[in-house]
Amino acid sequence: MKIVKTISEMKRIAKSWKAQGYSIGLVSTMGYLHDGHKSLIKSAFENDRVIVSIFVNPMQFYSKEEYESYPRDLQRDCNICEECGVNIVFAPEAGEMFEEGFCSYVDMYGLTENLCGMTRPNYFRSFCTVITKLFNITTPDKAYFGQKDAQQLAIVKRLVRDLNLDIDIIGCPVVREEDGLAITSKNIYLNAEERRSALILSKTIRLAQGLVQAGEKDAEEIIRAMRENIETEPLARIDYVEIVDANTLQRVDTIEGQVLIAIAVYIGKTRLLDNFTT
C-alpha cells in the first residue's frame, strides 16, 4: 500500500492506472476509520484498484476549535487500509487542497437547505467543493458513500448528474453496533452514560419503521410519535425529525413512493444522525 500526500502524484498514479485499463474505486473519508468505512472499502473491491482519501476538510467545521478537536490518527487509519488491501491512501494536508488564494466553490440549491442544511448553511458547499476536487484528482469509476449520511449521498448523486461526471455513485447500507447504534467517528465523544442514551436514535428509527410497516401514511403522525419517543431520553435534544422525498429531499405529507425518514439528535454535545428509506 502506498501513502500519497500530493495532488500531482495522485493524479499521475490515477492516470497510469487508467492507461493500463484498471477501474478505480474511491472511498472518501475524514479519517478515524471504523467498521462503516471498512464496509465501503469492501464494496469498492469490485474495482481493480481502490483509493481511500483521508482529508479533514477545515471548511466543514463551525470553528477552528471544532476542526482541531476532530479525532485524527493517520497511522491507525493507514494500518486499517493496509489490512483491507487498499492500494493507495490519499492523505493531503489542507494547504495542498486549498492553496493560498483559493476562491472557487461548487454550490447547490434545493437539496441542501433542508435536514442538516437548516442548521449548517455552509456545510454542503464545502462538501460539494471538496468531493468535486477529489473526483478530479483520483478519477474514480465508482465512489462509495454510506446511507447513514443520506443527505450527503443524495447531494453527491445529484452533483454527478448535474455536472455530467462519469462516475457511478454507490450507496451502501448503514452499519450498526450490535445494540443498534449507527457507527460513526463521533461515537468516540460519548461517555458511558451518553453511549447508553444514544440508543434512543436507533430505537426511534425502529419505531418509525414499525409504524410504516403497519400502514401509517400520515407523515405528521409519524413525526409526532418519533419526537415523543426521543423526548423520553433526558440527555437527548432534537435537532430535527423529518420525512422527505428520498430524491428531492423536500418535505412530504404522505408516505408514498420512496421517502427518507431522518433524525439528527444531540446526545450531550455530540450530534448524531440516523435514518431509513422506505
Break the chain into its structural domains and give their ranges: 2-172, 185-272
What pLDDT does 103 receive?
Answer: 95
Fold of 185-272: Pantoate--beta-alanine Ligase; Chain: A,domain 2 (3.30.1300)
Instruction: Give Cα 94 to chain centroid, integer Å.
Output: 19
pLDDT value for 151: 96
Nearest to 10 by CA among 93, 85, 124: 93
Decide: helix, strand or coil at residue 276: strand
Which pLDDT does position 59 carry in this prediction? 85
User: In the block, which residue shows the cell 440549491?
Assistant: 109
**DSSP labels, 112-152:** SSSGGGGT-TTHHHHHHHHHHHHHHHH--SEEEEEGGGHHH
- Interatomic CA distance for residues 49 and 256, integer angstroms: 40
Q: Give me 62's grid cell.
A: 463551525
Residue 162 to residue 48: CA distance in whole angstroms? 27
User: What's residue 218's pLDDT?
Assistant: 98
pLDDT the model gives residue 111: 94
Residues of the chain falling short of pLDDT 70: none
Among residues 37, 120, 142, 157, the one annotated as catalytic is 37
> What is the reported pLDDT for 70?
87
Q: Give CA–CA dist 112/124, Å, rounded.
A: 6
Q: Is 37 marked active-site?
A: yes
pLDDT at position 43, please? 98
pLDDT of residue 65: 82
Kind plus residue range of the DSSP H or E element containing 89: strand 88-90
CATH number corresponding to 2-172 = 3.40.50.620
